Amino acid sequence: MTLFNYSQEFNSLNQLLQEDEVNPETGEIINNDEAIKQLFDELELNLAEKLENSQRYIIDTLSQANTLKVEATRLNQRAKVLANKAERVKELMKDAILATGEKKITTDLFNFSIRSSKSVHIDDLEELSREYVKMTRTANKTLIKKALSEGEEIAGCSMVENKSLNVR
C-alpha cells in the first residue's frame, strides 16, 4: 500500500526498489544499487518529475519503516515480558530446590542443580581508585569543529564539507 500514485514511468523503478533480491545460496541480500541508478537515469521524465516521484517514494518508505519500528518496539516489549515471566518461574524453581536442602534433582527429562558463583557489586563508583575504572575516550567533535573553524590546526582532524538534500 502506498500513500501516492506514481507516474507510469516511475512504477518500474518503484517495483525494483520494493524488491529485496536474496542470494539463494548465502541468504544475503543482493545489492542492486547499480540497476536502480541505471533505471533512474533512463527514466523518460524531466528532473522535476523524477524528484517529485522519488520524494513520494521516500515518504512512503519512511512511513512503512516507522510502522515497522512501532511494531518492533511492541514485539520487543512483549518478548521482554515473556522473558521476565520465565525468569520468575526459574527463581521459584531455584527457591523450591534450596528449600529441600538438595543440590541436585533429576527427573526423566531434566537435571536440576544449584551452583554457586561470585560476582562483584559496586556500591559507589566514585570511591574506586583509577586502576579499577574503565574509561572510554571519545572525541569532542563540537569543540574540535569550533577550533578548526577558527583556523586552529589539530593533528588527526580535518574539516569535511558534506552535501545533503533538503526537501520542504
pTM of the model as a whole: 0.59
Taking only the tens of pLDDT, the chain with its 168 residues reads: 455 566 777 777 777 777 777 777 887 877 777 777 777 777 777 778 888 888 888 898 899 999 999 999 999 999 999 999 999 999 999 999 999 999 999 999 999 999 999 999 999 999 999 889 998 989 999 999 999 999 999 999 999 988 887 877
Give the model's pLDDT for residue 108: 95
Given a contact cutoff of 8 angstroms between Cβ atoms, the answer to whether 148 and 158 are in contact is yes
Each domain of the chain, given as residue ranges in start order, spans: 8-130
Look up cell 537435571; give the residue.
Answer: 111
Q: How many helices (H) and strands (E) does the chain have?
A: 4, 2
E strand or H helix that includes residue 112? strand 111-113
Collect all residues with Cβ–Cβ distance below 8 Å to 113 and sequence separation of at least 6: 103, 104, 105
| Rounded distance between C-alpha atoms, residue 12 and residue 41, angstroms | 13
Give the model's pLDDT for residue 63: 94
| Rounded distance between C-alpha atoms, residue 67 and residue 45, angstroms | 31
